[in-house]
């Protein structure tokens, strides 16, 4: 395991340690806090990000709050902690894993146990969620690597490595596993505007693992497909509706359309904790809108005229009919996703 992976997110006896991803790739800075409110702000500011990691971050942040409020009587503790859960739920709206983890924490809060026992259960469950996601990542990598040709170009969007999860990653882990199995792959990473998670984070992780790779602008992907340089497209997801529609980083839909136009397979790699069966389709997935400055400024420097009107959704929806398969810890799920997702979740 690469050294940086242990510092992505870690619960300690005194607090939480995490890599501040806004400082990569220029600086590998590990922050530490004992204050759950700092974790909430880290989620909002994208200092920690990636759907599975947001769930883990919330679980660890709620653990910090439970430790801080453990002196309260049972009724006060219960009320305060549910308000803390509400604060985490309001931090970002799209990633299903965040709400999945918060829901698990809420069930523990509602147990008929002493405050100290609940604090202990919360900490144990948070650690278990982290370990569980790491195991899911390994399974996704193992199943997914089988769909990668022995020698090929592959393209991915945004960041889905260890920086986004509790383990090796999702889509990134599939490519990493293929590389480690000796497959001769070359990964093309979209830069992923406007926050450049592809150039700042994915390229950094690809280099950490020695995977042959090339950075491209988001608009270059279709040309590479037409030229025959790409054999497979694989991305992650932040929420998957019951019918298989997927929310992922803005630009994913365009990548899926380009893959469809060039008859290339387009895969989503995500744990089942990303699935939201309460939503019939992607039309119901809440899409986060980000600050206009994320588009009009880079590293504090303005790149657009003052007063420019900006529309900056953080995610888009890729319809299920454009998705060749969903690579999960239960295997590679195929259409119709209403059936395969239901079967995997009920297994």
**What is the per-residue pLDDT across 36-60, written as a single tens digit (0 to 9) for each?**
999 999 999 999 999 999 999 999 9
- By annotation, the residues acting in catalysis are 238
User: Quick one: pLDDT at residue 1?
Assistant: 75
Report, as an integer, the average pLDDT of 210-238: 98
Give CA 311 to chain center in angstroms: 22
- Kindly report the pTM of this predicted structure: 0.96
Q: What does the block give as tokens for 182?
A: 């000796």
Q: Are 71 and 63 in contact (CB under 8 A)?
A: no
- Quick one: how many helices (H) and strands (E) in the chain? 12, 16
Tell me the pLDDT tens digit for each residue of 273-300: 999 999 999 999 999 999 999 999 988 8
Q: Give the rounded percent of residues in the chain with a pLDDT score beyond 90.
A: 98
pLDDT digits (tens, 9 = 90+) for 88-125: 999 999 999 999 999 999 999 999 999 999 999 999 99
Q: Check residue 150 and report its DSSP letter.
A: S
Buried b (16+ CB within 10 A) or exposed e, 5-26: bebbbbbeeebbbbbbbeebee
Under 8 Å between Cβ of 265 and 171: no
User: If you average pLDDT over residues 236-256, what whole number do you get?
Assistant: 98
Long-range own/partner contacts, residues 33-37 (CB < 8 A, 24 or more apart): 33/64, 34/64, 34/67, 34/68, 35/64, 35/68, 36/61, 36/62, 36/64, 36/65, 36/68, 36/84, 37/87
Q: Is the distance from CB of 224 to CB of 146 less than 8 angstroms?
A: no
* Model pLDDT, residue 178: 98
Contact 133, 66 (CB under 8 A): no
Q: Calculate ∠ Cα 317-161-120, nearest 5°.
A: 100
Domain annotation for the chain: domains and CATH numbers: 3-138 (1.20.120.420), 143-346 (3.40.50.10470)
pLDDT score at 299: 84
């Amino acid at each position: 395991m690469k050294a940086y992976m242990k510092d992505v997110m870690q619960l300690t006896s005194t607090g939480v340690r995490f890599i501040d991803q806004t400082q990569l790739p220029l600086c590998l800075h590990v922050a530490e806090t004992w204050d759950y409110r700092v974790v909430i702000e880290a989620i909002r500011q994208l200092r920690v990000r990636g759907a599975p990691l947001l769930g883990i971050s919330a679980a660890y942040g709620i653990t910090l709050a439970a430790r801080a409020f453990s002196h309260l009587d049972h009724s006060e503790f219960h009320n305060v902690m549910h308000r803390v859960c509400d604060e985490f739920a309001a931090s970002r709206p799209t990633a299903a894993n965040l709400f999945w983890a918060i829901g698990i924490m809420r069930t523990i809060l509602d147990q008929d146990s002493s405050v100290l026992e609940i604090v202990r259960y919360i900490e144990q469950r948070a650690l278990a969620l982290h370990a569980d996601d790491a195991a899911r990542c390994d399974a996704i990598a193992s199943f997914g690597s089988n769909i990668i040709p022995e020698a090929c170009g592959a393209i991915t969007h945004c960041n889905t490595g260890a920086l986004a999860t509790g383990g090796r990653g999702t889509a990134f882990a599939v490519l990493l596993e293929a590389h480690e199995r000796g497959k001769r792959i070359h990964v093309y990473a979209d830069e992923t505007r406007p926050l450049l998670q592809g150039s700042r984070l994915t390229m950094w992780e690809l280099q950490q693992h020695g995977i042959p790779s090339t950075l491209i602008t988001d608009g270059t992907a279709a040309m590479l497909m037409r030229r025959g340089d790409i054999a497979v497209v694989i991305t992650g997801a932040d929420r998957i509706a019951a019918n298989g529609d997927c929310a992922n980083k803005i630009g994913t839909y365009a990548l899926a359309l380009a893959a469809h136009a060039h008859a290339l397979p387009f895969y989503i790699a995500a744990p089942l904790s990303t699935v939201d069966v309460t939503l019939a389709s992607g039309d119901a997935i809440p899409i986060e809108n980000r600050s206009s400055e994320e588009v009009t400024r880079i590293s504090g420097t303005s790149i657009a005229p003052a007063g420019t009107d900006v529309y900056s959704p953080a995610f888009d929806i890729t319809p299920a009919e454009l998705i060749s398969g969903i690579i999960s810890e239960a295997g590679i799920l195929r259409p119709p996703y209403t059936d395969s997702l239901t079967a995997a979740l009920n297994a």
